[in-house]
Amino acid sequence: MELLEGRSLLWVVGLAAVLGCRQQGPGGFVRPRAVVDLSPVIGEDAPVRIMGSRFLKDFGLPESTAFHHTVSETPAYVADSRLELFNHVGPHHDAPNHAIKGARGTDTFPLDQFIGVAKVLDFRDRPKDAPLSRADFAGRGLVAGDVVIAFVGYVPPTDPNEYPSYAYLSGEAAEYLATLPVRLFATDMPSLAGLKNIAAIMAKGELKGSQAIVPEHYAFLSRNVPSVEGLVNLERIVNEPNVVFVGFPLKIKDGNAGPMRAAALVY
């Protein structure tokens, strides 16, 4: 409960009153009626399974990572593992130092920035490989302190020559959300940017610097507003009116991304 600050705390307290405290536990905790896992399984094949071969090849990234497992059975059974992870695949927090030299790492963010009452916006009907505009978010009742979850219905590519395809976030939309400011922006997009669009921009070589090439990232990163990419199972919460998002990134020193186990608490 200590983490649910401001309007999030008031919302939960009010909800408890409406429910007659029927599900309250120690300390007044209100148990959600469902907990929805918003994270895929992360295995060695996660990069290619989530991003597809073409993007990884074009950007010089490996298709898989390595999981090293050690098992000893003498004098007792003990299993240990050393895991190599691609920190920008699957649910993760993009830290400012991902695109801004010398900026903060994910380990410097307080946990209370990663939990709050969520508004889930359904953009599955929007054209793929086209940006979501400011108008797509303005007039939706968003206020400062909201957790905003944008559901675009991302489906990973299956053709090895295919790029990830989805409606992505425009710079103007990100600027609008970041200056409200929202508490956190989260999405099932594998990247806030359109990866096809980024590839085309980089091929032309006309733009320089993160503010010009990835303005949708820069809008959040430059203001220390957390953004979370790579969620799954959003179809299970898109019609739920009372949702609390929670996803705590790994506390990796100077991490430019923090992989997380994200979830939705449904009341």
Domain identity same for 134 and 168:
yes
Say yes or no to pLDDT of 175 above 70: yes
Domain identity same for 208 and 258:
yes
> Token pair of 152, please?
């675009």
- pTM score: 0.89
Q: What is the CA radius of gyration of the chain?
A: 19
Number of domains in the chain: 2
105-160 pLDDT per residue, tens: 999 999 999 999 999 999 999 999 999 999 999 989 999 999 999 999 999 999 99
Domain identity same for 172 and 59:
yes
Domain identity same for 26 and 41:
no
Instruction: Measure CA 5 to chain center.
Output: 21
Domain identity same for 5 and 131:
no
What's the pLDDT score for residue 204?
87
Domain identity same for 201 and 84:
yes
Say yes or no to pLDDT of 251 above 70: yes
Domain identity same for 70 and 106:
yes
3-state secondary structure 163-223: CCCCCEECHHHHHHHHHCCCCEEEECCCCCCCHHHHHHHHHHCCCCCHHHHCHHHHHHHCC
202-249 pLDDT per residue, tens: 888 887 888 999 999 999 999 999 999 999 999 999 999 999 999 999
CATH number at residue 183: 3.50.30.50
Say yes or no to pLDDT of 4 above 70: no
**Structural domain harbouring 174:** 32-266
Domain identity same for 231 and 102:
yes
Say yes or no to pLDDT of 9 above 90: no
